Amino acid sequence: MKKLVFASVLFMSVFFAQAQVSVNVNIGTPPNWGPQGYDDSRYYYLPDIDVYYDINQNVFIYDNGGKWMREKRLPSRYRNYDLYSGYKVVLTDYRGDAPYYYHAKHIKSYPKGYVGKPQKNRGEKPKGNNGNHYGNDKGKSKGNNSKKQSDKNHDHSNGNHR
């Protein structure tokens, strides 16, 4: 009887340990088109299309007629947007589930066309891919160093954290 109980406990512990490992895989992994050096950040703001990206949930957050939507893919109106070459503002001063709470500040500080310090993406862009598959594609690009630079609450440098 003791052997049966021991075998059951052993089996259950191995089963639950295996299940826990599979549940935690790839949660919060930045996309390959995201900038290098910010693995502990949660949000990007994409000023060219006025969209946020939530790294932990792997979703884009955008305004749809006054309602903030969360989707795995960008809306079709952005089908030609290249995630690899577009500038990503890394929001380092915000925690929580609603980065758009400061949307008025973000849109003013980072208007369409905003480019801060040069960025390198985490991965290389796949060959034959123009970067507009709306989502988690791999890529590599560098931004130009023009317009506004850094806001004191946001770190736009390549890997220099606050």
The answer to pTM > 0.85 is no
Q: What is the pLDDT of residues 13-57, one digit of tens each?
A: 655 555 444 343 446 799 999 999 988 899 999 999 999 999 999
Q: Which domain holds residue 78?
A: 28-162
- Rounded Cα distance between 70 and 94, Å, is 18
Would 7 be classed as within a structural domain? no
Q: What is the pLDDT of residues 79-120, one digit of tens each?
A: 899 999 999 999 987 888 999 999 999 999 999 999 999 999
Would 63 be classed as within a structural domain? yes
Would 72 be classed as within a structural domain? yes
Among 69, 37, 63, 43, residue whose Cα is nearest residue 55: 43
pLDDT at 72: 96
Would 22 be classed as within a structural domain? no
The overall longest dimension of the chain from CA atoms, in Å, is: 75
Would 4 be classed as within a structural domain? no
Would 43 be classed as within a structural domain? yes
Would 16 be classed as within a structural domain? no
Domain count of the chain? 1
- Three-class SS state of 52: strand
- Rounded Cα distance between 143 and 121, Å, is 10
pLDDT at 108: 97
Q: What is the mean pLDDT of residues 145-161?
A: 38
44: phi then psi, degrees, rounded to nearest 5 = -115, 150
Give the containing element (helix H, strand E) for 60: strand 59-64
Q: Does the pLDDT value for residue 144 go beyond 60?
A: no
Would 62 be classed as within a structural domain? yes
**How many residues can be counted in the chain?**
162
